[in-house]
Structure 1
Amino acid sequence: MRIGITSPVVTAVPGVHSPWERTAGIEELGVVAEAADRLGFHHLTCSEHVAVPADIAEQRGGTYWDPLATFGYLAARTSRIRFATQVLVLGYHHPLAVAKRYGTLDRVSDGRLVLGLGVGSLEEEFRLLGADFEERGAIADDALAALRASLSRREPAHHGEHFDYEGFVVEPHAVQDRVPLWIGGRTPRSLRRAVAHGDGWVPFGLSLDRLREMVDAASLPENFEVVLSAGRPLDPTGDADRASKALRKAWQAGATLVGVSLAAESASHYVEQLEALAGIAGLSGRPGTTPVREGRA
């Protein structure tokens, strides 16, 4: 099991983010990223929303830093930690636009990109961007196939129902031979989509018992990632026992990677929380495994 960090500062979801994040900026985020990199955490996240309706922002939050710009900066301050978009909405982009922009990020970060991708659910945002909301599932499936055929290739080709291209050069492109694609969602269909087109599944809004059922019922490929959340923000310095139990519960539910949010009062306190969590999990200062494995069903 490995641990990724749900990045502070870049989102402001009510009830999840800490007060210090409201006035924090790129320097504080950079300090956190450097610490996570040094301590051996697997990845940092950044979500995508272009514009959230004001009434919906009261529940979902309205702050969403752009993943490409954010990760491009953090790549220059780190050397090992991966950068996971969690998630890009497939319907908002042409696959070759993703391949070019995020392929460039993969190049400048020396192969540390993870593309987290989703179908999307915010109809108002689809309408605003001129994207097709009703056909978003079919478009997403074709986009996934196109991305798998196009990432890491100088002259990509794909012939599908919604995307059809050949004879174009995309340079630079991703340096990884196979950029990991993690598919977000909360339905059995999202898991099937992840198995068919991706390398991992990033569910949300489900109980660990339900997640265990879904993982057990699926026929998962070898090395397929199941990225589960440890739940509400952890306080490793104040309640190490709860933090340890939360990691174990996620592992027992079938996680191969655990995503963690941390409670903190400042950027420096956040770094202390990272250090405490690394100690609890047994991280060795390099992105790898942790010994919190006992009791997996």
Structure 2
Amino acid sequence: MKYSVVLPVNLGVLGEPSDVLRVARHAEELGFESVSAVEHAVVISDTESRYPYAPDGRLPLPNDLPYPDPLELLAYLAAGTDRLGLSTGVLVLPNHNPFVLAKRLATLDRLSGGRLRICAGLGWMREEIEACGGDFARRGKVADESIRLMRELWASTSPEGLSFQGEFYAVEGAHSYPKPHAGRAVPLHIGGHSEAAARRAGRLGDGFQPLGLAGDELTAALTLVRETAREAGRDPGDVELTLGATLPRAADRTEWAESLGADRLVLSGSRHATSLDAFLDELTACAVKVGLSR
């Protein structure tokens, strides 16, 4: 089992260079696989959109909380660490032009020595997506095409460049360099809670990170991922599974995650970790309990 750490956005420290680097270096020293950065390009006051992971449908964080751009943040952490994996959870695909995003991801992966893994989703805040120029109603179809386009940009080395004709994007003779590290494609995992997200992971994802699902709903989503992968002519075993837990519960949740075929647990701080020192203490205790620290 691999263990990843969600950078503690709720503490309001991710925009502070020394604080966020302290978290990343501590996670690396303890043996965690990676850190994960969240994204909101813009937060809208009094949004009418329903946050799907809280009973009251409201984002449970202040509007003025710092949300650094996740890729800029991960680039900073890449320069300050040696082995630590760099991930998002969740990158909001409709906020990004795929030509620009493909270049940013390839650059970060190349300069970090292949440490990047992206968990991408469609976003829930309609006002944010529309402010960034996205089409909320059609974001699923656009996302599918964006994923295909980015992978073709990374793979293409033709002297004539890439020719791509899609419903939303078209280009002739496109060259996009540098390529990701070691000739690979940046791993693109799909995050979400809907049936559409599960199907997208089965069709197109290198992995699936279900959000806010438990019990029968989680089981059904995992079954749907695997069925869709088979229908698409893919090996379901090639779709990694990442599940979530809190740092204090990681040891208790590992056997459960393994029973579902998970490859990774991504861990967030508990509600008791209300300071940076308390969060780092939870990191240390978790590493000991799951056997990362000697």
Superposition TM-score tier, normalisation by shorter sequence = 0.7 to 0.9
Partner residue, 2:243: 228
Q: Is the 8 A contact 1:117 1:181 kept in 2?
A: yes
Residue 170 in structure 1 maps to residue 185 in structure 2: no
Cα displacement string for residues 31-79 of structure 1 (whole angstroms, at most 9, x for unaligned residues): 1101111222122111221111112496243332211211111001111
Q: Is the 8 A contact 1:3 1:41 kept in 2?
A: yes
- Higher relative CO (CA 8 A, sep ≥ 6), structure 1 or 2? 1
Residues 157 and 67 (structure 1 numbering): CA distance in 2 closer, same or farther, change over 3 Å?
farther
Give the alignment of 1:78-227 within 5 angstroms.
Answer: 78-151=81-154, 153=156, 155-176=161-182, 177-217=184-224, 218-219=226-227, 221-227=236-242
For the residues of structure 1 that align with 2:99 and 2:2, how far apart are their CA atoms?
31
Cα displacement string for residues 85-118 of structure 1 (whole angstroms, at most 9, x for unaligned residues): 2122222222111111121111221111112111
Q: Which amino acid aligns with 1:139?
A: V
Q: Percent identity?
A: 35
Residue aligned with 1:162, SS: coil
Residue aligned with 2:68, SS: coil
Structure 1 stretch displaced more, 203-212 or 179-188: 203-212
Residues 83 and 243 (structure 1 numbering): CA distance in 2 closer, same or farther, change over 3 Å?
closer
Partner residue, 1:16: none
For the residues of structure 2 that align with 1:157 and 1:107, how far apart are their CA atoms?
24
For the residues of structure 1 that align with 2:292 and 2:164, how far apart are their CA atoms?
41
Cα displacement string for residues 102-156 of structure 1 (whole angstroms, at most 9, x for unaligned residues): 2111122111111211122211112222221121111111111112212354544
Partner residue, 1:283: 292
Residues 84 and 23 (structure 1 numbering): CA distance in 2 closer, same or farther, change over 3 Å?
closer
Give the alignment of 1:40-79 within 5 angstroms.
Answer: 40-56=31-47, 59-61=59-61, 62=63, 63=65, 64-79=67-82
Shift of 1:171: 2.4
Residue aligned with 2:241, SS: strand
TM-score for the superposition, normalised by structure 2: 0.82
For the residues of structure 2 that align with 1:147 and 1:43, how far apart are their CA atoms?
23
Stretches of structure 2 that go unaligned for 5 or more consecutive residues are 52-57, 230-235
Structure 1 stretch displaced more, 73-82 or 252-261: 252-261
For the residues of structure 1 that align with 2:109 and 2:196, how far apart are their CA atoms?
29
Structure 1 stretch displaced more, 209-218 or 137-146: 209-218
Shift of 1:261: 0.9
Q: Is the 8 A contact 2:36 2:89 kept in 1?
A: yes
Q: Is the 8 A contact 2:39 2:69 kept in 1?
A: yes
Shift of 1:199: 0.3
Residue 270 in structure 1 maps to residue 279 in structure 2: yes
TM-score for the superposition, normalised by structure 1: 0.81
Residues 121 and 165 (structure 1 numbering): CA distance in 2 closer, same or farther, change over 3 Å?
same
Stretches of structure 1 that go unaligned for 5 or more consecutive residues are 13-20, 236-241, 286-297
Q: Is the 8 A contact 1:211 1:253 kept in 2?
A: no
